Chain A
Amino acid sequence: MHLLGFSLVLYVGPDQILPLTSILGAIGGALMIFWRQVVGLFRRIRSVFVRE
């Protein structure tokens, strides 16, 4: 397990950072745009499981 973690650290370089941060940034951007819809969706899902 330690070896796997160490290998992952070694694997992360500039070429890997750009896609990773781009994907995270894109998710952040989409969340900001569709915030109300996302919150509404979570509320609806929550209402299925939690009776008010």
Chain B
Amino acid sequence: MSNMTGNKKKAPKSSSNGMRILKQMSYNRLAMLGAFILLIEVVLALLAPVIAPHNYASIDIAVAMQGPSLTYPLGTDDMGRDILSRLLYGARYSIGMGILAVSFGMFFGCIVGSIAGFYGGKVDNIIMRILDVIQSLPSMVLVIVLSAVLGAGFFNTILALSIGGIPANARLLRAQMFKVRENEYMEAAVSINCSKIRIIVKHLLPNSISPMIVSATMGVASMIVAAAGLSFLGLGVQPPAPEWGAMLSSSRQFIRTSPHMVIFPGLAIGITVLALNLMGDGLRDALDPKLKR
């Protein structure tokens, strides 16, 4: 045998998949920028009670529709409420609704998709046809109808938004599961007597979930826009709740006289969506093994 090695080996670093992916993402500057922006927004939203200069609901007609000033950094709306404070509290609504709606959509999509993906065959067929029906309705129409049926309000809106998201999530998961099922380790799990539940939860799901996570990250952005749209239409969350879409809706008639009332909520939505998309892009690239380095 060899009596000396000329090979200076570095100790192998054990890295979990999760750490590896985060590291991979950190190389993407834009993704990190998006994550940073989002983080700031979340912090601001959480600190709203502390940093908001005014009460977001206090009405003062005397100072209505004023442009940005020292007292009111982003101006006031048609009821004299401070726009900055409303945006800060509004972040809780918009980002909160976005994340919760997506989470519910993912959770139920996961269950439905797993059943279809694991069993295949007839079960898959039936589930897919039901999802087909749901997806054949234009998503905005579906959300509007559901919202109208369920009524306005924070949690009702979240429910309406999430139902629309279930089919897409389920499909993504199911498609990936069909691929993962081809791997021999799935057969190995059967050969060592794993129960069906264990196979799904321990082997199938963790390896299939990445595309769904990426799409979900991007999904938060569209949920925020959808929530804004609902408020805009008079459904969803209603004033005086400072939801960004509702702010847009109630300000549109003043766009020519006091554009700041429309611009700032619009910017808030736009920047948040941009940040989420950048993050989602970065996450997708990090999860794609072919794009490594």
- Chain A complexes with chain B: no
Residues of B within 8 A of A (CB): none
